[in-house]
Amino acid sequence: MIIHMAVKIELNLLGNHKIALVGNPNVGKSVIFGLLTGQYVTVSNYPGTTVEVTRGQALFDKSETVVIDTPGINGLIPNSEDEKVTRDILVNEDINYIVQVADAKNLSRALFLCIQLAETGIPYCLVLNMNDEAKSLGIKINIAKLSQILGVPVIQTIAVQREGIGALIKTIHDALANETVTTPNETTNMASYEPKIEDAIKELSGLLQSTPGKQHSPKTALRFQALMLLTDDLPQTQGCDLPPVTSHGACEISRIHSIHEKTKQLFSQPLSNIINQKRLNKAQEIVNQVQTYEGGRKTSLSDFLGRITMHPFWGIPILLAILFLLYEFVGVLGATTLVGFLENTVFGQYINPFAIHLSERFIPIPLIRDFFTGPYGLITMALAYGFAIILPIVATFFLAFGIMEDSGYLPRLAVMVNRLFRLVGLNGKAVLPLVLGLGCDTMATMVTRILPTNKERILTTLLLALGVPCSAQLGVMMGLLSGISLQAILLWFGILIIIMFIVAYFANKVISGACSDFMMEIPPMRMPEIGNILSKTYARVKWYLKEVIPIFIFGTAFLFGLDQTGALAYIEKLFTPVVTGLMGLPKDVTAAFLIGFFRRDYGAAGLYDLAQKGLLNPQQIVVSLITITLFVPCFAQFLMMVKERGWKVALLIVAFIFPLAILVGSLVNLILNLIGGL
C-alpha cells in the first residue's frame, strides 16, 4: 500500500453514503481522495489533471461510504466539460456530504465556490488545504470565526503530509452520523441578490415545488435549482440543461423560460454575471472578516523560480537546460547505461542463454522452439525488448516527467510556448499532452481530454499520432542516429518539426470549431514530494507495461507467423517498388515497416538490427527513420484514438498519416540524392 492511513475510524452500519470532494482546480482533491480511500489517482501540480471522476470506498467506513473525486471547478455555472461533470454529480446523484477542498492561500476564490455549495443545500465542510504555503505567505485565517460565519466545520490540512486528515475524517464521520443536524440553514450564509432576482428565484422555486413529475435532484434546495435556471446560458429551445426541467411539461418550460427572459430584460449585464458579482462581494466580505496578513510577504525561492522559469529571456536557457538534463537522465542514464546493463548482462548473459538452453533441451519441435527463442522469438525478442530496452527508458522518462509536473514547471512551459502554439490553432494548455506524448502517446491521447474544445483535442491527437515519438521510440531512434552524425539527428528532428508544423497549420484551417481562450492558473513552484513522484511513476510504468507487452507478444507472433508461412517474403516483394525504388532502401526494411504498423519503436528496433548488421547506409537510416517516426505510434494508440475521438476521426488520421509518411520519406530520399547524398 502506497498510502498509509494514519487514522482509521470504524463506523457502524450507516448504509449507503456518498461523499463528493469538490473544489477549485489544483487544490489537492486527489491527494485527499487518496488519503480517504487508499486508492491512488494521479496527483499533479497542474490544474485540471483530474479528467475522470474516480470513485472509491472510504477506508474509514467499512460499510458503504463512497468517496467521489471530481474535476476541479471554479463555480457551479459550468464553463467547461469538467465543470459540467462536477455540477451534474451534485445535481443528479444523491450526495450526502460535500467536502470542499480549498487552497488556504486563495480564500476568496474558495468562498466564492463555498457560497454556491451552500446554496445546493447539501451539507458540507470546508477543508483549507496547503496551510503551510498560506502560512509562509503570512496569511492567518481565523478558523473559529469562519466556521461560525459559514455555519459548517472548517478544517485546516496539509494533505501531502497527512496533517489534519484525522480531524477531517472525524468531521465526516460526525456529519454522516447526524445527517439532519448538519444541513446548513438555507437562509443563514447565502448571498442575497438584487430584489428583482430574488423575486424571480421565489417565482421559480414556487413553480418547481408545485410541479409534479419526477424530482431528479431531491437533495438540492429549490433555491439552488431556481438559481441554476436563471444563470444557465444554454440554448433555451430544449428548456435549460437541468435535470429538474426535463421532466416538466412543455407548459412549465415555457413559464420558466418567460420568467428567465423577463428577468434578463431588467439588467444590462448577463444574469450569471450579476449573480456572480454578488457572490464574489460576499466572499470578499467574509475574507475581510477572517483573514489577516502577518509579517510581510517574503519573496521566497519558490517565487523566484516561478518567475524566472517563465521570464521572456531567462526562461529560454532554463528550458534548454531542462531539456539537456532530461536527455542526460533519460537518453544517457536510462537508454544507454541501464539498457546496456539489462540487455547485454541480464538478458544477453543470463536469461537468453538460459531460455535457449532450456528450449533446446525440452522442446523437440524446431517450430515451437523458434517461437520462443528464435530470431522472432517470444523470449529472445519480445520480452527481452520489452523489459530490457523499453522499461528503463520509460521508467526514467516518467520519473523526470513526474518531477517536472509536480514542481509546477509544466504550466510555465505552457506560458512559454503559448504564442507559438497559437499559430497552429492550439494554445499553451496543449503542452501537457504533447510533452507526455514523449513518454507514451497512448496515455497522452487520453490526456487530450483536459483541452477545452473538440478541435483542440483533434489537433493534438493528430500531432501525437503523427510526429511525437514516445520515449521507447526516442531511445531506439537516438541510438540509431547517434551512430551516424549530429547532422543526421538535426535533419531528422528538423524535418519532423517542419512536417508537424505544416500539418497542424493546415489542419487548423480544415478542422471546424473554435479554439479556447488561454486562461490558466499558474500554481506556485513546489518541492516535489518524492513519495508521490514514485507512486505516480510506478502507476504509469505499470499502465504502460500492461498496454505494451501484450502488443509486443502479439506483434512478434504475427511476424513469426508471416515469416514461417512465407507471407513476409511476399509482402516484401509487393512493397519493393516503393521501399527500394522511391525510398532507396533495402527490401529487408519492409519487415521493419510492417512491424512499425503495430508499434513504431518496434519497427525502429528492426531498423536498428539492420543497421547493426551493416545493411543500411547513413542516408538510408535517416530516410527510413523519418518515415517510421511519422507512422502512427502503435496499435494501442490507434485504439485509444478510436475510444477518445471515434472511429471516423481515428480512421481519417490513420489514412492521412501512412501515405504522408511514405511520401515524406520518398521526398527526403529524392532531395538527398539530388544534393549528392548524406
Partner 1 sequence: MKKRKEEILELAWMGKEKGSFTREDVEKSADDRISPGLLDDLIKEGYLKESGNQVSMTAEGEKEARRLIRAHRLSERLFTDVLDITPQNMEKYACTFEHFLGDEVVNSICTMLGHPTECPHGHQIPPGECCKNKLKEIASIVVPLTELKIGSEARIAYVVTKQHQRLDQLTAFGIVPGATLHLHQIMPSYVVRVGETDIALDTDIVKTIYVRLKKSGP
Minimum distance from residue 554 beta carbon to partner 1 (Å) = 43
- Distance separating alpha carbons of residues 69 and 23, to the nearest angstrom: 10
Task: Out of 21, 125, 137, 640, point to the residue binding partner 1 (CB under 8 A).
Answer: 137
233 binds partner 1 (CB under 8 A): yes
112 binds partner 1 (CB under 8 A): yes
| Stretch touching partner 1 by CB under 8 A, among 236-244, 412-420, 487-495, 605-613 | 412-420
Q: How far is CA 391 from the centre of its chain?
A: 21
- Tell which one of 143, 173, 300, 315 touches partner 1 (CB under 8 A): 315
Residue 244 sits in the site that holds partner 1 (CB under 8 A): no
**Interacting residue with partner 1 among 312, 566, 659, 676 (CB under 8 A):** 312
Nearer to partner 1, 96 or 427 (CB): 427
Strand pairing report for 54-57 and 17-23: unpaired
- Residue 341, C-alpha cell as written in the block: 546493463
The burial of 215, by beta-carbon neighbours within 10 Å (0-12 exposed, 13-18 middle, 19 or more buried), is given as middle
Q: Which is nearer to partner 1, 14 or 520 (CB)?
A: 520
Q: Residues, the chain, total? A: 678
When asked if residue 108 is in the footprint of partner 1 (CB under 8 A), the reply is yes
Nearer to partner 1, 17 or 429 (CB): 429
Q: How far apart are CA 117 and CA 277, in angstroms?
A: 16
Note whether 417 binds partner 1 by CB under 8 A.
yes
Residues 57-76 that bind partner 1 (CB under 8 A): 74-75
Of 286 and 604, which has the nearer Cβ to partner 1? 286
Binding flag, residue 114, partner 1 (CB under 8 A): no
- Among 79, 142, 336, 453, which residue sits at the site for partner 1 (rule: CB under 8 A)? 79
**Of the candidates 169, 21, 174, which has an alpha carbon nearest to the alpha carbon of residue 86?**
21
User: Does 450 sit near partner 1 (CB under 8 A)?
Assistant: no
Q: Does 171 bind partner 1 (CB under 8 A)?
A: no
Position 428 contacts partner 1 (CB under 8 A): yes
Cβ neighbours, 10 Å, residue 323: 10
- Looking at this protein, which amino acid is placed at residue 130? M
- Note whether 600 and 442 are within 8 A (CB): no
Which of these segments, 86-94, 120-128, 268-276, 583-591, binds partner 1 (CB under 8 A)? Answer: 268-276
Task: Specify the residue, 29 or 599, whose C-beta has the smaller distance to partner 1.
Answer: 29
CB of 526 to partner 1, least distance (A): 13
In this structure, are residues 133 and 45 in contact, taking their beta carbons and an 8 Å threshold? no
310 binds partner 1 (CB under 8 A): yes
Give, for 601, the enclosing helix (H) or strand (E).
helix 600-612
635: left (phi over 0), alpha (psi -120 to 50) or beta: alpha
Residues 182-201 that bind partner 1 (CB under 8 A): none
Bridge partners of 82, per DSSP, are none
The residue within the footprint of partner 1, chosen from 257, 307, 369, 526 (CB under 8 A), is: 307
Between the two ends of the chain, the Cα-to-Cα distance in Å is 54
DSSP-derived secondary structure letter, 599:
B
Please count the other Cβ atoms lying within 10 Å of the Cβ belonging to residue 365: 8
Instruction: Tell me how far apart the alpha carbons of residues 26 and 23 are, in angstroms, rounded to a whole number.
Output: 8
Write the binding mask 518 to 547 for partner 1: x where contact by CB under 8 A, - elsewhere.
xxxxxxx-----------------------
Can residue 94 be called a binding residue for partner 1 (CB under 8 A)? no
Q: Specify whether the CB–CB gap between 575 and 593 falls below 8 A.
A: yes
160 vs 275, beta carbon nearer partner 1 = 275
Q: Using the rule CB under 8 A, which residue among 44, 120, 427, 556 binds partner 1?
A: 427
Minimum distance, C-beta of residue 152 to partner 1, in the bound complex (Å): 21
Residue 105: CB minimum distance to partner 1, A: 4
Asked if 132 interacts with partner 1 (CB under 8 A), we say no
Q: At what angle do helices 391-407 and 530-565 cross, to 10 degrees?
A: 150
∠ CA 658-660-663, rounded to 5°? 110
**Cβ atoms 577, 588 nearer than 8 A:** no
Beta-ladder partners of 154: 126
Residue 88 CA to residue 6 CA, distance in Å, equals 32
Q: Does 571 bind partner 1 (CB under 8 A)?
A: no
- Cβ atoms of 220 and 121 within 8 Å: the answer is yes
Q: What is the DSSP letter of 657?
A: H
Residue closer to partner 1, measured from CB, 264 or 573:
264
- Using the contact rule CB under 8 A, the part of the chain among 37-45, 196-204, 256-264, 307-315 near partner 1 is 307-315
Task: Provide the 3-class DSSP secondary structure of residue 140.
Answer: strand
Least distance to partner 1, CB of residue 64, Å: 34
Using rule CB under 8 A, residue 138 touches partner 1: no
Smallest separation (angstroms) from partner 1 to the CB of 130: 10
Interface region with partner 1, contact rule CB under 8 A, candidates 309-317, 333-341, 434-442, 603-611: 309-317
Query: Within positions 499 to 518, which residues make up the interface with partner 1, using CB under 8 A?
Result: 517-518
Give the integer Cα–Cα distance in Å for 471 and 551: 17
Which region among 108-116, 245-253, 367-375, 464-472 touches partner 1 (by CB under 8 A)? 108-116
Give yes or no for a contact between 73 and 36, defined as CB atoms under 8 angstroms apart: no
Stretch that binds partner 1, among 5-13, 14-22, 407-415, 569-577 (CB under 8 A): 407-415
CB of 299 to partner 1, least distance (A): 13
Measured distance CA(100)–CA(175) in Å, rounded: 14
Indicate whether 306 belongs to the interface with partner 1 (CB under 8 A). Answer: yes
**178, 188, 273, 344: residue in contact with partner 1 (rule CB under 8 A):** 273
Instruction: Based on the shown chain and the rule CB under 8 A, indicate whether residue 640 belongs to the binding site for partner 1.
Output: no
Nearer Cβ to partner 1, position 111 or 466? 111
**Please, which residue, 296 or 364, has the CB nearer to partner 1?**
296
Question: Which cell numbers hold the place of 184?
Answer: 446548513
Pick the closest to residue 412 from 499, 520, 553, 540 (CA basis). Answer: 520
State the number of binding residues for partner 1 (CB under 8 A). Answer: 44
Q: Where are the alpha helices (DSSP H) in 151-270?
A: 165-177, 179-182, 195-210, 222-231, 243-246, 250-265
Cα separation, 132 vs 611, whole angstroms: 56
CB count in 10 Å sphere of residue 384? 21
Interaction site with partner 1 (CB under 8 A):
74-75, 77, 79, 103, 105-106, 108-109, 112, 137, 139, 233, 268, 270, 272-273, 276-277, 280, 306-307, 310-312, 315, 411, 414-419, 422, 427-428, 517-524
